[in-house]
Amino acid sequence: MDKTREELQKELDEANAQLEQYQHRCQRLENRLRYYTEGERKKRNHRLITRGADVESVAPEVRGMSQTAFRLLVEEVFSLPEVTALVSRATDQQEGG
């Protein structure tokens, strides 16, 4: 039962090495989680930016509009029955293949 100082030091060193390995493993998992979380946010940002650019390319007049005026315009456009039908048809076509 009596361990020498060297044996105890060796056990301590091994335990510290294992602790460091677990800390690195934990850090890698946290990095992976952050990568996937930020990846989704980046994809969403990219989608929003490209769609906004598409709107501006089709209707360049919206570039000078305030955010409030643009929002009101979009709400009015998308409330039109013709537009609602077009959006529904486009969504159905995409889901169907």
Instruction: Quick: pLDDT tens for 70-90.
Output: 999 999 999 999 999 999 999
- Per the CB < 8 A criterion, the answer to whether 16 and 22 are in contact is no
Phi and psi of 2, rounded to 5°? -80, 115
The proportion of the chain whose per-residue pLDDT surpasses 90, expressed as a percent, equals: 79
2 has pLDDT over 90: no
40 has pLDDT over 90: no
pTM, to two decimals = 0.55
Residue-wise pLDDT tens digits, 20-30: 999 999 999 99
Q: What is the pLDDT of residue 97?
A: 59
